Amino acid sequence: MRKVLGKVLFYAFISIVAFLVIVPFLWMIGTSFKAREATYTIPIRWIPERPSLEAYQAIFSLTNVNFLRATANSFFLSFIMTVFPLLSSAMAAYAFAKIEFRAKRILFPLFLATMMIPAAVLMVPNYVLLNTLGLLNTYTGLLLPSLCSAFAIFFIRQFMMSVDNAYSEAALMDGASWLRIFFSVMMPLTRPALMTMGLFNFMGAWNNFMWPLVVLYNRDKWTLQLALGNMGNQFGNFNHYLMAGALVSLVPIVIVYLVSQKYVEQGLAIGGLKA
Amino acid sequence: MKQSRTVVVGIVLVTMLLLAAGPSAVFAGGAGERAAVSTGPVELVYNNFSAGETNAKVLNDMLDLFRQKYPNIKVTNDAMGYGDAYWTQLTTRIAGGNAPDAFEVNMENFIPYVTRDVMLPLDEYYAAAGAKSGIYSKAVLDACTYQGKLYAVPQSFSTVVMIYNKNLFDRAGIAYPTENWKWADAVAAGQKITALGEDIWGTFNPIQFWEFYKVVQQNGGSLLSADRKHFTINSPQNLETLQYMVDRIRKYKVMPDKVAQADRTESDLFVEGRLAMWLNGVWSFSELQKRAPADLRWGAEVEPGNTAKATHFFANVAAVSRTAKHPKEAFTLLHFLASDPQVVALRLKAQWELPTVSDPKLVETYINATPPDNKKSVFRSLEYVVRPPALKQFNELANLVTTKLEAARDGTLSPKEALDQAQAEAERTIKLE
């Protein structure tokens, strides 16, 4: 009896919390369908008086920036900023975790130390560097600083250290090269860590605003966040446009999160070892 | 092992290729000729904000007209909305040595930018185009002048007027505002309208720096002394003014406080018919025309003063960068966008602020396009304009004064404390030259 009561209370509680969290999103969806009316009202108007797609039509027909193009740019950049750092960090993590070399004791703390520097501090030197190299207003310049990540190295290394050496030793005895061991044995085994870091990288890359703002001048190269931010400046009172834009930018990231969540929850492949 | 070495070399090569594909080309223009506008291919970059998205198409049409007249000049229109992102990008580009050839600043930012030596003096170009007098009105040319030299081309100007909801006035049975109204008249009308019902408000006048430097002048006060040598923020007249501004919320209750406003914007309150008198710039006319329901009748009037009248005047001016490779062509672009008759007609038709050319015939076209009613008040306001304090550290002063004013508005500081603290901090942190 007590157990049932406990369960009911627990579910009631988390339902209330979940509802409170969802409420702003519900308002956002409702507002994005409003048209010629006040968006902030008392009492709150959840369902628009005259629902219309005006906001969505407006954001896809902006003159100053092509919203679809900005979305495509964001996808392209986020993809590269997810895959590249993962690859380079995983390789470095493998070296730090499994390979013995003399400089390891010095190099690894050095790598970790770079994590202490906040991104805002790095922005100015990076900008000056790009300017000298003539890489401003290019995607190369935008991507360069994010191509490797000390945090990812640290995270994946921890995971790799928990993978039994027996796997790689077995592969070595079968005549595999280091690279073969890395791609065929270690990567699949560290998939949960890779998926988690991939998700972080994607979210960071998708939401990045400040760095693209100072690096990219051409409207054609703009990312989705820049387009949204610019809309925010111009359409201050047209909240339905802003909500529509925000919703559109939310959809991809929710999809990515849902997809990778499956992998992150996947258990470790511990089985297969002979005692 | 050989296989993996190939892979590694391959990765290194790909990375190098990526890096090589990057470097952006500097504009390939010829050496700037002083004699005439270049006939060779010229590329210009023009950073601007005042079109935003609302008038983006109008700006593009204007640029099309320019291209028809000067087919060899290619203009890249780097338009953004007015906001922090625009200033961040502009400042970063200029500081990094990649300044756009021409860029737009609003009047308040003209002094901070020109004193940092990023704008090219344009007197010779004005003279060559015969534009030094007779084309632009004096007030807007003043906004582009620093130490006797012209540094920018005025693009548009706006005034701030009192927009009022005629339906609410009719419901309360009071006469519409006139140009002779004083503070007391506005408060009296506001009280009658606020009495109409719960959550209906008589007026909204923001309590922040831009409002303050103007309203103090309606009461005979000022933020700086007449010789501009020291601050007079906490003078007795200014204290009276701030008390009046705060009393509207607390004593007369004609204006909502933060709790009653509940984060709704004034625009939302106005289009819902909950706000009778709203002080706003003429730039909001086109937005209101899109948002207000068909049955909302609204008009405009010169805002009430007290011992004197003082109204806002804002201008957007465009400058040529010191590092521009084709300054003459850049000036030609800005001069064309501000004064060409067809361009001016486009601006008037779109109701996109006001053109800076001094042609009385144009005024007629503007006034006859309603809503709002009584648009001649937009030009009547010009009789009483006051300029913002021209300071290199304008933004710092605006920030510190606004912080104190907001504290007074919300009740955490008394008006006297707020002004005294603002005075002390201004004296401490702002250098007056």
Q: Are residues B268 and B340 in the same domain?
A: no
Other beta carbons within 10 Å of A20: 9
Confidence check: pLDDT of B308 > 60: yes
CA-to-CA distance for A38 and A31, rounded, in angstroms? 10
CA distance A135 to chain B (A): 5
Instruction: Give the pLDDT band (50/70/90) at residue A263.
Output: low
Tokens of B267: 């625009």
Looking at the DSSP bridge assignments, the partners of residue B163 are B278, B300
Quick check: B12 pLDDT over 80? no
Check which CATH number belongs to the domain holding A114 and give it. Answer: 1.10.3720.10
What pLDDT digit, counting tens, does each position of A138-156 carry? 999 999 988 888 888 988 8
* B389 or B153, which is more confident: B153
Check A234 against B89: CB less than 8 A apart: no
Whole-number Å distance between alpha carbons of B296 and B198: 19
At residue B27, the pLDDT reads 30
Sign for the pseudo-dihedral over CA of B370, B373, B375, B381: negative
Of A215 and B2, the one with more pLDDT: A215
Q: What is the 3-state secondary structure (H, E, C) of chain A?
A: CHHHHHHHHHHHHHHHHHHHHHHHHHHHHHHHCCCCCCCCCCCCCCCCCCCCCHHHHHHCCCCCCCHHHHHHHHHHHHHHHHHHHHHHHHHHHHHHHHCCCCCHHHHHHHHHHHCCCCHHHHHHHHHHHHHHHCCCCCHHHHHHHHCCCHHHHHHHHHHHHCCCHHHHHHHHHCCCCHHHHHHHHHHHHCHHHHHHHHHHHHHHHHHCCHHHHHHCCCHHHCCHHHHHHHHHHHCCCCHHHHHHHHHHHHHHHHHHHHHHHHHHHCCCCCCCCCC
Last residue within a domain, chosen from A52, A77, A93: A52
| One domain for residues B144 and B290 | no
Query: Predicted confidence band at A18 (pLDDT cuts at 50, 70, 90)?
Result: very high
Dump pLDDT digits (tens) for B316-372: 999 999 999 999 999 999 999 999 999 998 998 888 888 888 877 777 778 888 788
pTM given for the model: 0.77
> Which residues, including other chains, have CB under 8 Å from residue B410's CB and lie 6 or more apart?
B257, B258
Strand B145-146 with B311-320, pairing: unpaired
CA-derived radius of gyration, chain B: 25
B60-111 residue pLDDT tens = 999 999 999 999 999 999 988 888 889 999 999 998 888 999 999 998 889 8
Residue B382 and residue B412 in one domain: yes
- Judged by CB atoms closer than 8 Å, whether chains meet at B4 and A178 is answered as yes
- Rounded Cα distance, B301 and B179, in Å: 6
Mean pLDDT of all residues in chain A?
Answer: 86
Kindly state whether residue A273 falls inside one of the protein's structural domains.
no
Counted across chains A and B, CB pairs separated by less than 8 A come out at 121
Residues A41 and A141 reside in one and the same domain:
no
* Nearest of B345, B315, B365 to residue B58 by alpha carbon: B345
Average per-residue pLDDT in chain B?
86
Contacts for B343 with CB less than 8 Å, ≥ 6 apart: B62, B65, B336, B337
Are residues A142 and A223 located together in one domain of the fold? yes
Kindly state whether residues A34 and A123 are assigned to the same domain. Answer: no
Q: Do B293 and A36 touch (CB under 8 A)?
A: yes
Measure in Å the smallest separation between the Cα of B25 and chain A Cα atoms.
Answer: 8
One domain, residues A102 and A1: no
Q: Which pLDDT score, from 0 to 100, does residue A266 have?
A: 52
Cβ of A131 within 8 Å of Cβ of B18? The answer is no
What is the model's pLDDT at position B7? 63
* C-alpha distance from B361 to closest chain A C-alpha (Å): 31
Least confident range of A178-182, B20-24, B89-93, B230-234: B20-24
Residue B3 scores a pLDDT above 70: no
Q: Could you tell me if residue B21 is inside a domain?
A: no
- Same domain flag for B179 and B249: yes
Alpha carbon separation from B83 to B69, B105, B321 (Å, rounded): 32, 12, 21
Distance to chain B for A69, nearest Cα, Å: 16
**Which amino acid, B386?**
V
Contact, B388 vs B216, CB < 8 A?
Answer: no
Whether B190 and B228 share a structural domain? yes
Q: Are residues A106 and A240 in the same domain?
A: yes
Give the largest Cα separation in chain A, rounded. Answer: 73
| CB-nearest partner of A40 from B264, B287, B290 | B264
Nearest by CB: A39 against B7, B19, B268: B268
Quick one: B169 and B256 in the same domain? yes
Which domain covers residue A178, as residue numbers?
A: 59-265
Q: What is the pLDDT of residues A95-119, one digit of tens each?
A: 998 888 888 889 999 988 988 888 8
Distance between CA atoms of A187 and A193, rounded to whole angstroms? 10
pLDDT at A265: 57
Same domain flag for A34 and A70: no
Same domain, B324 and B224: no
Residue A177, CA atoms < 13 Å, CB-side half-sphere:
10
Nearest to A63 among B60, B80, B83 (CB): B60
Q: How confident is the model at residue B23 (pLDDT cuts 50, 70, 90)?
A: very low
Answer yes or no: do B288 and B259 share one domain. Answer: yes
* Whole-angstrom distance, CA of residue B249 vs CA of residue B255: 5
Look at chain A and report how many structural domains it folds into.
2
The mean pLDDT of B33-51, rounded to a whole number, is 80
Contact A138 B24 (CB under 8 A): yes
Q: Are residues B23 and A236, on separate chains, in Cβ contact within 8 Å?
A: no
CA dist B332 and B37 (Å) reads: 8
Q: At what angle do helices B209-218 and B236-250 cross, to 10 degrees?
A: 110
Looking at the domain assignment, is residue A271 inside a domain?
A: no
Any idea which residue has 């790095």 for tokens? A122
Contact status of B10 with chain A (Cβ, < 8 Å): no
**Domain co-membership, A249 together with A120:** yes
Q: Render pLDDT for B24-36 as a digit per residue (tens, 0 to 9).
A: 333 333 333 344 6
Q: Please name every residue paired with B157 in a beta bridge, in sequence order, or none if there are none.
A: B315, B354
Chain centre to alpha carbon of residue B303? 18
Q: Token digits for B423?
A: 């005075």
Q: Are residues B381 and B235 in the same domain?
A: yes
C-alpha to C-alpha distances, B104 to A160, B88, B320, nearest whole angstrom: 54, 13, 9
pLDDT at B22: 40
Domain that holds residue B49: 42-157+314-367
Residues B326 and B271 in one domain: no
Using a CB–CB cut-off of 8 Å, the residues of A that contact B are 36-42, 62-64, 127-128, 131, 133-138, 140-141, 177-180, 213-214, 217-219, 226, 229-238
